[in-house]
Every structure is written in C-alpha cells, then in structure tokens.
C-alpha cells in the first residue's frame, strides 16, 4: 500500500508537468528536445531484499526494505519499442535472525531490457512495460555470535562464511515517464528479478537525458 501511494504521487507530479513541457517543446528551434535516440540516466528508490535462507538451509525469513540505486543507458529507435541496459544495486539489509547466528545478502545485477510503450494519445507521457535478462549476483554472508566482552556489544557477531552466487534470471517491470524540455525525462518504475534466493525488487524514480 505504501508503495502504491508513492507511485501515485510520482504519477501526479509527472502529470502536472505535461502542459508546461508541451509549450516548451513546441518552442525548440535548436532541436534540443528529442524524444528519440540514445539516453543515459540514473535512479534511486526503495528496494525489497528477501532472504535466501531456503537455499542455504537457514531458518527464518526476512523481507527488508533498503535504498536502491541504478545507472541506465538505452535507445528508443521507434516510438513503440526500446532497448535498455542498466546496473542496479538493491542494497544490503544486514538482518540478524537470533542471538546465535545471522545472515545477510547483497543482490546486484546488470540487466538488459526490451521495452514496449503503449500508444496513448498524450504526447509527453509514456506508459511502458519491460522484460529481459538479468545477471543476478548475490553476496550472502553467514555470521555466528562470539562470546560477549565487557567493553564491546553483546552479542558480538563474527563472519563465518561468504557465498557468492551468480545466476542468469528473468527480469521484468513497468512504469510511467514524462518528457521535459532539452531532452530530459523523469520516470517512476517498478522492477523485479525472479530468483530462488528471494526475488529482489525496487520502486525507483530516475532522471534521463536524451542526446
């Protein structure tokens, strides 16, 4: 529900920009406003990192929210279709299960997406869906609790094992974007990667520049 409210707020903000961007784009004699072509950008938002405990034989479960960030590069050769590559870092929860042991994970992934845009009659707003392939890397760490000391924290956790798992997995998502003057675009989108170690996902807001 909280994510729905955040996405709704982003959509309303983009809708408020639409009349102003229409006027600015019409008055663009240098051709700086370009809705097609190559673009680069970056985004930030909130992720959900889930435990991979079943894969490692660990009890318990977590569903932790972290700060996600990503870099983006893409091309939109025609109005209805685009291709996009991005690198996304979902964050690291550092979740402790009990006084005896702990486990955390840090999912990151380069992703290649194909994007399809809906043919809507609003020229400065895009609604799209995306699907592709991710090279998901999961750094999983297992901790155990050491004896407490007089001056240190209690319990005191020591890294026992580190497991690095890399898998090629299906990724998907969708969102909405609003074009601004001088080749800039803002977007709000949801993305998720399917994985037996707990599907990481993220709701992000990004800024793009088309050149």
Asked if residues 199 and 172 have their Cβ atoms less than 8 Å apart, the reply is no
**CATH architecture designation of domain 2-210:** Beta Barrel (2.40)
Task: Work out the average pLDDT over 155-168.
Answer: 72
DSSP 96: B
Q: What is the pLDDT of residue 211?
A: 81
32-91: pLDDT as tens digits: 444 558 999 999 999 998 765 554 444 445 677 889 999 999 999 888 999 999 999 999
pLDDT(148) > 90: no
Phi, psi of 33 (to 5 degrees): -85, 115
14-30: pLDDT as tens digits: 444 444 444 444 444 33
185-210: pLDDT as tens digits: 999 999 999 987 778 999 999 999 99
Indicate left, alpha or beta for 61 from its phi (over 0: left) and psi (-120 to 50: alpha): beta
Name the residue ranges covered by the structural domains of the chain. 2-210
110-133: pLDDT as tens digits: 999 999 999 999 889 999 999 999
Q: How far apart are CA 44 and CA 55, in angstroms?
A: 29
Asked if residues 184 and 125 have their Cβ atoms less than 8 Å apart, the reply is no
Tell me if the pTM is above 0.85. no
DSSP 149-183: -SSS-SSEEEEEEEEEEEEEEEEEEEEEEEE-GGG
Report which of 95, 26, 88, 89 is spatially closest to residue 64, judged by C-alpha positions.
95
């Amino acid at each position: 529900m909280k994510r729905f409210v955040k996405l709704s707020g982003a959509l309303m903000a983009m809708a408020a920009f639409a009349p102003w961007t229409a006027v600015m784009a019409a008055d663009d004699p240098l051709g700086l406003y370009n809705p097609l072509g190559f673009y680069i950008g970056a985004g930030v938002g909130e992720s959900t990192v889930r435990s991979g405990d079943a894969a490692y034989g660990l009890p318990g479960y977590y569903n932790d929210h972290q700060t996600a960030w990503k870099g983006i590069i893409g091309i939109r050769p025609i109005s209805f279709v685009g291709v996009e590559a991005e690198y996304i870092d979902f964050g690291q929860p550092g979740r402790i299960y009990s006084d005896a042991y702990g486990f955390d994970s840090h999912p990151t992934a380069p992703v290649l997406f194909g994007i399809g845009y809906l043919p809507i009659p609003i020229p400065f707003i895009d609604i799209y869906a995306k699907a592709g392939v991710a090279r998901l890397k999961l750094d999983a760490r297992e901790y155990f609790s050491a004896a407490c000391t007089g001056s240190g924290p209690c319990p005191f956790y020591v890294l026992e094992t580190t497991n690095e798992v890399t898998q090629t997995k299906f990724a998907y998502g969708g969102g909405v974007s609003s074009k601004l003057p001088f080749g800039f675009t803002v977007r709000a989108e949801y993305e998720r990667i399917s994985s037996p170690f707990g599907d990481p996902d993220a709701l992000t807001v990004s800024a793009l520049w088309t050149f």
